[in-house]
Amino acid sequence: MENTTWVANNTGRTDFDLVGLFSQSKHPTLLCVVIFVVFLMALSGNTILILLIHCDIHLHNPMYFFITQLSLMDVMSISVTVPKMLMNQVMGVNRISAPECGMQMFLYVTLVGSEVFLLAAMAYDRYVAICHPLRYPVLMNHRVCLLLVSSSWFLGSVDGFMLTPVTMTFPFCRSREIHHFFCEVPAVTKLSCSDTSLYETLMYLCCVLMLLIPVTIILSSYSFILFTIHRMNSAEGWKKAFATCSSHMMVVILFYGAAIYTYMLPTSYHTPEKDMIVSVFYTILTPVLNPLIYSLRNKDVTRALKKMLNVGSVLQETLK
């Protein structure tokens, strides 16, 4: 009898309701417009940064190769979550099918996991560039860069393949309302009517391991960098090294801070409202901030941007 009831409850609906940001807002239309503008800014900012690095030969080095990959991940991650949320608001629906939910979850987890490891690779790159400048071309050759980037993508996809199938195969015989604006693993897991304590413990350990290794690499790299900068006699070299590293540290603090809150803090610290605010921070705001951080604080990028704008104005004058 219990099995029959479970089947009836579990197969009655195959989709989910996303109870997202707009239901919490007093001005949902205004919020929708703001998020749409931020989405366009993130897409245009990261795309311009990728094009600048691709077109300017002076930016063809390991650091900018990693920044290109970071921008690509940001474009993909914001495209996985925001368009669906905006489309649901415009059409007046808040449903997402189980296959769509699973695909969104897999892509998002993969991209977040990949970015976690990529930021560690970027920290190691800065360590080699500042602490071992003479050996930098050898230690960070094109093959090593490709290996670090492909490893980041691979480890992120492993995380996606581990968490998504298990989460989506849980029986959902309670409410189908996901108190989030996209299918995030913790939010979907809460809907299961089975005991998920073991899975949540394993997920916690997995996330701790995934964050602990990159954080250790980043902290070690920047400890050596700070020690090297302290010993520098050149004020110009000190300023250049500090400017480069401070940009990366801003990105790391923004991204890792939100990731640690979401996946490592106990559930007693979480509420649906807090989770959504934090997710907005690293899902929507971080992709739009990254190109600003790496362009406004970087003379090479601003020079390449001015050069591109000058070429555009010359072409416009020629056409006239």
Could you tell me how far CA 284 lies from the centroid of its own chain? Answer: 9
249 or 151: whose pLDDT is higher?
151
Cβ atoms of residues 98 and 49 within 8 Å: no
CA distances from 305 to 49, 295, 311 (A): 9, 9, 10
Is residue 301 scored above 90 in pLDDT? no
Is residue 313 scored above 60 in pLDDT? no
pLDDT of residue 5: 36
Q: What is the pLDDT of residues 105-121, one digit of tens each?
A: 999 999 999 999 999 99
Q: What is the pLDDT of residues 197-249, one digit of tens each?
A: 888 888 888 888 888 888 889 889 888 888 887 777 666 667 766 666 777 77
Cβ atoms of residues 214 and 116 within 8 Å: yes
Q: Write down all domains in the chain, each with its CATH number in brackets.
A: 13-305 (1.20.1070.10)
Q: What is the pLDDT of residues 46-92, one digit of tens each?
A: 998 999 888 888 888 998 999 999 999 999 999 999 999 898 888 88
pLDDT of residue 234: 65
Averaged pLDDT of the chain: 82
Q: What is the mean pLDDT of residues 33-55?
A: 92
CA distances from 27 to 33, 273, 291 (A): 10, 16, 29
